[in-house]
Amino acid sequence: MKPLDNIQLGTLIDSYRVEERVARSGVASIFKAIDTRNNQIVALKVPHPDIEADPILFDRFQREAAIGERLHHPRVMRVFTGDKRSQIYMVMEWCEGRLLRDILKDGKLDQERAKRISIGILEALEYIHDNGVVHRDLKPENIMVDAENHVKLIDFGIAGDGSARRLTYANFGSTLGTPDYISPEQVKGKRGDGRSDIFAMGVILYEMLTGAMPFTGSTPMQVMNDRLVNHPVPPSVLNSSISPQLQEVIYRALERNPVNRYARAHDFAHDLKHLDQVGVENRSELRTWQKRRVRLPRTIVYYIALGLIPVAILVLMVLVARSH
């Protein structure tokens, strides 16, 4: 099967009639389509024509389809299977609403809305983690929110099996997650698990409540370095309405050491639902956050360089194969 190219509106792909293009990424385009067998609205995710020539991206696309087809939860976008298809593409549930990223462009959210959205995301994370999946790229671009603030977790392009030997973001390339949201242990090239998604959720909650990012820098490497050596501006400094209890929840999600972080998404959600039961620690972060370190440690350069080695070998293998 060959990838589709130059898709025109009204094109019939098997039983699906393309209505409009709604998104485009480095890997694929997403189209709104109608299943002519039952008039159901669906989303088609169609890889770009050159994806088969890129083993990393093609594997990413196939893995996303395989993971999506086995997940069935109201907070997770469904991927449909069972059709015999003439081309390479995914058929997905059509989700109404707006991307959380687009919502955040309007400014920070009120606390009740931010908590409700967060709890919905955490319910989705609890489900996928219980099913052995780590999202690995949790960010506002991958979260759909409807008019009632119900969420759908979308895009499992770089998701991985939670029992995998090594989940890392050190391979700074096409399979890299977004530097703003990845966890400190992944920056260091260490094993990532469900707690890495919890860290990303902590970043998202911080962003929803303050309108700012907890870790910053002028380059992706500086952003990653910032979470290793600095503490974020306390959320209550940026938004005085944030209670000590809610701030404590954010800090627990953003713990640099995953051992000190929430162990499960359920625990994170429980505290958001019962803030009156959250004990507030006397955190040094609240006293030392203004002491900023900007020097990029040689260790992070080492980890990133180490992670690039297998990518370089794979690229070399592809170039050699193409030359024969």
Task: DSSP letter for 258, please.
Answer: G
Please tell me which residue in 35, 137, 155, 197 is annotated as part of the active site.
Answer: 137
Known catalytic membership, residue 137: yes
Instruction: Return all residues near 318 (Cβ < 8 A) that are at least 6 apart.
Output: 53, 54, 55
Specify the 3-state DSSP secondary structure of 218.
coil
Question: Residue 284 is encoded by which pair of tokens?
Answer: 């040094």
Question: Residue 124 is encoded by which pair of tokens?
Answer: 């989705």
Give yes or no for a contact between 224 and 187, defined as CB atoms under 8 angstroms apart: yes
For residues 244 and 309, what is the distance between their CA atoms, to the nearest angstrom? Answer: 44
Give yes or no for a contact between 44 and 18, defined as CB atoms under 8 angstroms apart: yes
Residue 272: alpha-carbon gap to chain centroid: 21
Cα angle 191, 115, 278; round to 5: 75
Residue 256 φ/ψ, nearest 5 degrees: -65, -40
H or E element at residue 322: helix 298-323
Q: Which residue has the tokens 């000190």?
A: 260
**Catalytic positions, written as ranges:** 137
